[in-house]
Amino acid sequence: MASHYVVRNVSRAEPATIEALRDAGVATVHEAAGRIGLLGPAIQARQQGPAIAGSAITVSCHPGDNLMIHAAVEVCRPGDVLVVTTTSPSTDGMFGDLLATSLMARGVVGLVIDAGVRDIATLREIGFPVWSRAVHAQGTVKASPGSVNVPVVADGQLVHPGDIIVADDDGVLALPIAQGAATVEAARKRLANEEAKRKTLAEGTLGVDLYHLRPLLAELGVEYVDDLP
């Protein structure tokens, strides 16, 4: 039996669910989902402003080898997010503007890679958003087998094919499809609540009063004094 696969079929969440989670943003979705799914902070946005969401197409590569990224392009559909990992740590520039051009032709909305990217100025110029562990000019080869659309771990977070990926300036989150609809509703409630709090804070109310923190401060032994004794 083969030990490496390119899996063609992936379950995907409803487009409306994906769009709503993108609009809510990573921080809100993380809280609304019960603080699950967040990738570690080593994978960072390599541009400012873009916010994306889509279905995960996962790739497991040999470090320093981008063969399986090329293989993955074929199974991508419009709205997908490519999530690339390596079988041991790597910061090599495994992805650049040519692969981005190929993915854009397939309608892929962005890349999350637990390794390096290069051609970063061109990637910004053509408007293809990437989140990566590193920016590094070190090139790669195309020689080693890997797999497409198998479970992978990206900066400590397990990502399954089809998971809803949300990414913006705050980081990257992977959410199981089954939790998408409930998280949308929780996110909407959270955003409405935050808007009301924002208005109250803008009017001058202090956070310690808005959140009723004064009793907690007293319970913890924090005293208000005009000067130190």
Residue 195 lies in a domain: no
In the predicted structure, residue 2 carries a pLDDT above the cut 80: no
Whether residue 6 is contained in a domain is answered as no
Whether 143 is in a domain gets the answer: yes
Binding residues for substrate, as ranges, are 96-99, 118
Whether the predicted pLDDT of 208 surpasses 60: yes
Distance separating alpha carbons of residues 37 and 227, to the nearest angstrom: 45
Binding residues for Mg(2+): 119
Give the residue numbers spanning the domain of 91. Answer: 15-183
Q: Which residues are annotated as a binding site?
A: 96-99, 118-119
pLDDT at position 213 is 97
Count of the separate structural domains present in the chain: 1
**Segment 162-179, tens digit of pLDDT:** 999 999 999 999 999 999
- Tell me whether residue 64 is in a domain: yes
- The mean pLDDT of 144-155, rounded to a whole number, is 98
**End-to-end Cα separation, the chain, in angstroms:** 76
Among residues 210, 213, 187, the alpha carbon closest in space to that of 199 is found at 210
- Assigned domain for 189 exists: no
Assess if residue 97 is contained within a domain.
yes
Q: What pLDDT is stored for residue 229 in this prediction?
A: 83
1 has pLDDT over 60: no
CATH number, residue 140: 3.50.30.40
pLDDT digits (tens, 9 = 90+) for 120-129: 999 999 999 9
Question: Tens of pLDDT along 10-21?
Answer: 999 999 999 999
Whether 222 is covered by a domain: the verdict is no
Residue 130 has pLDDT above 70, yes or no: yes
Residue 219 lies in a domain: no
Residues 6+ apart with CB under 8 A from 37: 30, 157, 163, 173, 174, 175, 176
